[in-house]
Every structure is written in C-alpha cells, then in structure tokens.
Amino acid sequence: MKEKTKEFLKRYLIGFMLGIVSAGAVIVYAETYFPSNDVTYDNTESGLKSSDVQGAIDELYGVCFPSAGDQVIEDAGLEKDPYECRYFFTGADPNNYITFNNETAGWRIISVECDGTIKIMRKESIRKMVWDGFSSNWARPSIINTYLNETYYNELDTTAQSQIVAKDFSIGAVENRNDYLADQINSENRTKWNGKVALPTLSEYIRSNSNKSSCETFRLYDDNYSSCKNTTWMYTSNTFWTLTPESSVSYRLYAIVYLGYIQATDTGIDSNIYPVVYLNSDITLIGDGSQSNPYTIE
C-alpha cells in the first residue's frame, strides 16, 4: 500500500473499520467504532474536558497499527486534534480531495469524526452573498442559511442528498484575536445549530494549518497571516465567510480575507460561500485522496 494511501486510512481507522486493500485501490467501510457511552464532553467555561476518549483512540490506534509510526500520518497531513475527538487534514495541499455531487475532486475533507461521519467543504465558491444585514446569528436563520439549506440543497443531485446527514454545527461567538484555541473552540461549541449545510468555523480554519508554532491560535495566525496562508489548504484568494460570529458586535462575523488575514466583517457585505456538509458514516470510499485520484463514494 502506498504511503499516501496509508496516511488517510490510519487516521480514518480511529473512527472506522478497515475494509479491503487491493491493486492500489483502497476501500474503506465507514462504520461507527465508538459506542455512545465512550465519549462525554463538558464544554463549559472551565475548558474542554473529555472522558475515555483518548484512551479509546490510543488503544485502537496501537492495536490496528502496532508498527506504523506517526510520521506516516503527519507527512500526509491528517492529524489527531488535541481539543476534540476529531482528525484534521492540515497543510498546504494534503491528499483530502473527494468527489461529491458528481463534482470530480470538487470537495475536500476537513475532518474525520469519531462517530464515523466525514466533514467536507466545497473547493470552489458557489457564489458571493450577504450574510444577513441585521444579525450574525446563523440560526436566525441568516439569509445564507436559508439559501444553502433550501435553494442550494435542493439543487444537489438525489444521490448527494442521501449521503448528507444532519448534524450539530458550532455557531457560538468568539472573542476577537483570542490567545487560546481551546477557549475559542469552547466559545464556538456553546451554541449549536442542527442542519445539513453550513460553513467552516473559524477554529477549523486555524486547525487546518500545519505551522503550529506560528499559526495555532487566532492571535498568532493574525500576526503571521502572510506566511500562515501558505500552510493551510483552506486558504483561497477569495474573501469568504466562516460560521463564527464576533462576540462583541451582534452584526459582525469572521471572514477570511483574500490577503490571508482574519477580519470581523459586517454581515451586510458580500462574501464568498464555501458549503460544508457531513457525510453519512455508512459510506464507502475508494481512492487515495490526491487530486488526480480523489476519494469517490460507492
């Protein structure tokens, strides 16, 4: 099995069971591994807490790959998140391309979740649009929320619709230039919205960066944006909306500006939309995730 194939599967197995490997093609059957009582979270102001999550991950990690090193994963860009039970693709151009809605390599995988779902983001903007004009509350619902979950969702093909699962998206407000990523994640997680189509959060954008020493917090990223934009695949040359409001002003939320920095932006301004969805845990993926051989769903 090629190293670039191993990298995804190794992390993928934290939440899933390995299927068949043959002739350079990899088939993964996505099945939930963790029973619901294995994971508990306390997302309070005291900080992120978990119970039995890390032990279960490490146990499976060791049993499945007793001789494989972390370097296999790190080289490929899939990293275990230290804050939540998730695995993120990081770096400038990891092998996280996926074909969805008949768009070949048109989406990219943000993260692999411990419940077996896969969070993906469209590679190209679908259009520019104002957020709302009055409030940064996604659950209001905002204009973009309504557009994505009615107009856009109904334009997806029926197969793609069947592969999407409704899940909780974090829509909590975050303090400007926060120094602690754990605090930022807690703030995002304090408010949830359940639905099918949303946007990436600000912390997901930051966590997609492989340069942890310079870019791993809101403040660090903002101070070093000119270099940080080069070590995350989520950066584009377009200004685009995130799902995360700014905590001190009710009509501002964060956008990633085309120059690479993070900006609290008025909701009435046009900005690009990159849809995000969760894929069902029972899908089958084939491919190695490269742009020339993206993951395909069967």
Look up residue 280 and give its DSSP letter: P
Helix (H, G, I), strand (E, B) or coil at 212: helix
pTM of the model: 0.78
- The answer to whether the Cα torsion of 47, 115, 190, 148 is positive or negative is positive
Residues of the chain with pLDDT > 90, as a percent, come to: 68
Helix (H, G, I), strand (E, B) or coil at 216: coil
Residues 170-209 pLDDT 10s: 999 999 988 999 999 999 999 999 999 999 999 999 999 9
Is the pLDDT confidence value at 25 over 80?
no
> What pLDDT is stored for residue 37 in this prediction?
33
- 62-71, 242-251, 284-293: lowest mean pLDDT where? 62-71
Average pLDDT, the chain: 80
**How much of the chain is in helix, strand and coil states, percent to nearest 5?**
30, 30, 40
| CA dist., res. 206 & res. 218, Å (int) | 7
Helix (H, G, I), strand (E, B) or coil at 5: helix
> What pLDDT is stored for residue 43 in this prediction?
33
| CA dist., res. 183 & res. 70, Å (int) | 27
- Report CA-CA distances (Å) from 134 to 81, 87, 113, 170, 207: 34, 35, 33, 20, 29
Q: Is 170:201 a contact under the CB 8 Å cutoff?
A: yes
> What pLDDT is stored for residue 31 in this prediction?
35
Q: Is 181:212 a contact under the CB 8 Å cutoff?
A: no
Amino acid at 89: F
Average pLDDT over residues 18-40: 33
Strand partners, 47: 44
More confident residue, 199 or 40: 199
Is the pLDDT confidence value at 278 over 80?
yes
Element (H, E) at 134: none
pLDDT band per the 50, 70, 90 thresholds, residue 78: confident
